[in-house]
């Protein structure tokens, strides 16, 4: 596989969430590298967009989403390999059993993620609840805008200006919207 880069590697992120997201994208990108024609930037962008579509709220959600995506891709890969004409019965059955187990793991993780997103039961607020830190909220919004700009620039580098115009016609909803349900 040939590695094709369209831009220099990004600077080291200083935000812990960006570091974790970078690690997850780095781990998931090889799973789609072959279908990206060996283009590592395109594979990373596909992984980033897939993870971002879940609208994670915290680091635990981000890890769960990475597991769901990885389990799902690995299950599809095992199923695909089990369908090869030259494979004998025993390896084909092992691959299909592996795909079934991976699918079950993805589903369990998906359910666990959904359970953590249920709204809290109504009741009086706990006395130790802290008020919203408006400065921190503003920093998060600014950080989100910077990440969206980086995604826009990466798309422009990969696809040209046509995708930017199409993307601006359909703006991405904020992370506070309900999460994407891939089922």
Residues with Cβ within 8 Å of residue 64, at least 6 apart in sequence: 109, 112, 113, 116
- Any domain includes 176: no
Angstrom distance (rounded) from CA 123 to CA 8: 51
Q: Is residue 158 part of a domain?
A: yes
Distance separating alpha carbons of residues 112 and 158, to the nearest angstrom: 35
CB 58 within 8 A of CB 52: no
What's the domain range around 97?
Answer: 16-117+134-169
Does the residue 104 lie in any domain?
yes
The Cα angle at residue 176 between residues 142 and 137, in degrees rounded to 5: 35
For every one of its 183 residues, what pLDDT tens digit does the chain have, with 9 covering 90 and above? 555 555 545 555 567 778 888 888 888 888 888 888 999 999 999 988 888 888 888 888 888 888 888 898 889 888 888 888 888 889 989 998 998 998 899 899 888 888 876 555 555 555 555 566 677 777 777 877 888 888 888 877 777 765 445 545 544 444 444 444 444
Confidence at residue 180, expressed as pLDDT on a 0 to 100 scale:
46
Task: Evaluate whether residue 44 is within a structural domain.
Answer: yes
Q: Using an 8 Å Cβ cutoff, are 65 and 23 in contact?
A: no
- Whether 71 is in a domain gets the answer yes
In a domain, 68, yes or no: yes
Instruction: Take residue 77 and report the two structure tokens written for it.
Output: 């890969």
Cα of first residue to Cα of last residue in the chain, in angstroms, is: 32
| Domain assignment present for 8 | no
**What gap in Å lies between CA 163 and CA 166, rounded to an integer?**
5
pTM, to two decimals: 0.52
Q: Is residue 58 part of a domain?
A: yes
How far CA 153 is from CA of 11, 91, 156, 167, 174, in Å, comes to 15, 44, 5, 11, 18
Structurally, the chain folds into a number of domains equal to: 1
């Amino acid at each position: 596989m040939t590695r094709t880069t369209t831009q220099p590697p990004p600077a080291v992120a200083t935000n812990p969430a960006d570091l974790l997201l970078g690690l997850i994208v780095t781990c998931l990108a090889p799973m789609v590298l072959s279908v990206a024609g060996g283009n590592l930037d395109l594979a990373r962008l596909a992984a980033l967009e897939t993870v971002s579509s879940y609208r994670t709220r915290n680091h635990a959600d981000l890890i769960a989403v990475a597991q769901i995506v990885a389990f799902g891709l690995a299950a599809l890969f095992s199923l695909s390999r089990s369908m090869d004409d030259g494979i004998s019965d025993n390896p084909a059955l092992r691959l299909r059993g592996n795909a079934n187990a991976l699918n079950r793991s993805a589903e369990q993780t998906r359910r666990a993620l959904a359970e953590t997103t249920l709204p809290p039961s109504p009741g009086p607020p706990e006395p130790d609840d802290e008020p919203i830190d408006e400065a921190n909220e503003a920093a998060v919004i600014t950080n989100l805008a910077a990440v969206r700009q980086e995604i826009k620039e990466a798309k422009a580098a990969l696809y040209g200006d046509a995708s930017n115009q199409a993307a601006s016609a359909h703006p991405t909803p904020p992370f506070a919207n309900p999460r994407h349900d891939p089922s």
